Each structure stands twice: as C-alpha cells, then as structure tokens.
C-alpha cells in the first residue's frame, strides 16, 4: 500500500512539474513576443539602368520638355519610362536634377558631331546638361558635361575615340578612368585594352553619381519618383 501511494505521489509530482514547466515556457514565449522589437524587412528596389541618359540641371520638367521641343506628352510610371519605349522619357526633379532617357538621345558612336550639336543646342536653352552612355556588349561608352552651350568635358569611345574634349575631371581621375587619344588605337583583341574598355564602361554610372545622378540608384531615400512624362501622344 505504501509503495503504491509513493508511486502515485511520484507520478502526480512529475505531472505537476511538467505542467509548471509548460506554463513557464508559454509565459516566457509570450513575453518575448510582446517585448521583441519589430524588424520590418528592408526592400530596396533599384530601377533598370538605361544604356544612355541625360541629366539636366533643372527643377522644371516643363522647361525640359520645351527645350526638347515636345508639344504633346503623356504620364508614365517611372520604371516603364526608363525602359525606353518612347523617344524621350523625362523624370521628375530629384535633388535639383532631371533625368531624360530614351532612343531619341544621340549616339556618339553613330555621329559624334550630331551628339555635340544636340547637347550644346540643348544646353543653350536649359543650362547644364550631362550625357552618359555605357554599352554592355561592345563596351562603347561616353560622358559629357556641357554648360550654357560650352563643352566642359566630353569623352566617347566607339571602337575608337570619337570625342575627347576638355581636361579630365577630378572624378575621372579618382575613378582611374582611361581615356585614349584620337591617335591611340589599342588592339581590339588585346587583353589589356579589353579590360580597360570593360572597366571604363562599368565606371560610367559611378561617374554619373559623382557628377549628378545614376538613374539606377534612385530609391526611396532620394524620394523615388512615381512617374514622369514621355513624348507619347495623349
């Protein structure tokens, strides 16, 4: 009888201990859920970077539209506009700059003189204009800064140097960007030359960020724009 009572007491004690431990665990879990900080997931979505883009020193998309001669236009979402569906897409002002993209921009590889005329003509109307190009396959690349119709700095490579004007800027020097002279013709199949060209093209967005804006690095912290305008008829 005594053995049976002792056994029953042990079973009841073990059951009670298990119940107490279970209650304590649930209470601790509830306390942790109540007091833990809420860590929200951080999503940083960058826009696609176009192959070429303008950056205009302006707060007025209307003034940029007028300088480009766009009489009719429609509003488009930012990401769609950057995809280059229309000749020109004009973004909203960001930190005093306006980005313009689209296939209507000149290609210095096709005609460097046309690119020069386009940028200087636009700059006479609107002020400071910057142009950037970075092609990922052939590594054609270009950058230019034009103020009030005067070229401050320009460089363009399209299988050869097609435009090299003005002294290298501090940003180019800091980024160790290579600029070949008109009379320099590095062998296309040279590993060193290919490395330089690929590196130069990859550094164009870094130069753009130093000078003004890289369109692919515009996010919520810079007031990510919801939309811009294109030359698409309304």
- pLDDT reported for residue 227: 52
Q: Which of 174, 179, 171 is nearest to 197 (CA)?
A: 179
Do residues 94 and 222 touch, judged by C-beta distance below 8 A? yes
Give the separation between CA 43 and CA 45, rounded to whole angstroms: 6
CA distances from 212 to 116, 131, 195 (A): 20, 11, 26
Residue 226 phi/psi, 5-degree rounding, is: -85, -30
Do the strands 161-165 and 227-230 form a parallel or antiparallel pair, or are they unpaired?
A: unpaired
Alpha helix stretches (DSSP H) within 73-111: 78-82
End-to-end CA distance of the chain: give it in Å, rounded.
97
- pLDDT reported for residue 34: 38
Residue 145 phi/psi, 5-degree rounding, is: -125, 120
Give the separation between CA 159 and CA 150, rounded to whole angstroms: 26
Q: Convert the pLDDT of each residue in 6-65 to its tens digit.
A: 454 544 555 554 544 454 455 444 433 433 333 333 333 455 678 899 999 999 999 999
Alpha helix stretches (DSSP H) within the chain: 2-35, 61-68, 78-82, 112-126, 170-174, 191-211
Do residues 146 and 128 touch, judged by C-beta distance below 8 A? yes
Residues of the chain falling short of pLDDT 70: 1-48, 72-74, 77-85, 187-189, 219-234
- pLDDT reported for residue 78: 66
């Amino acid at each position: 009888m005594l053995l049976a009572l002792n056994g029953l007491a042990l079973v009841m004690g073990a059951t009670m201990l298990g119940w107490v431990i279970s209650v304590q665990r649930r209470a601790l879990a509830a306390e942790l859920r109540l007091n833990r900080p809420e860590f929200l997931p951080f999503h940083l979505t960058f826009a696609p970077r176009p192959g070429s883009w303008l950056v205009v020193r302006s707060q007025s998309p209307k003034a940029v539209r007028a300088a480009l001669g766009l009489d009719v236009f429609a509003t488009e979402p930012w990401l769609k506009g950057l995809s280059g569906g229309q000749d020109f897409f004009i973004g909203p002002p960001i930190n005093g700059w306006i980005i313009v993209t689209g296939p209507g921009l000149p290609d210095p590889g096709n005609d460097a003189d046309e690119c020069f005329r386009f940028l200087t003509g636009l700059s006479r109307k609107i002020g400071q204009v910057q142009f950037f190009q970075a092609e990922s396959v052939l590594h054609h690349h270009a950058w230019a800064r034009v103020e009030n119709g005067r070229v401050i700095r320009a460089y363009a490579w399209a299988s050869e140097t097609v435009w090299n004007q003005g002294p290298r800027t501090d940003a180019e020097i800091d980024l160790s960007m290579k600029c070949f002279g008109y009379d320099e013709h590095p062998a296309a199949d040279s590993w060193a030359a290919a490395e330089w060209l690929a590196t130069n093209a990859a550094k164009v967005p870094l130069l753009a960020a130093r000078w003004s804006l890289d369109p692919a690095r515009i996010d919520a912290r810079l007031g990510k724009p919801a939309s811009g305008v294109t030359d698409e008829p309304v």
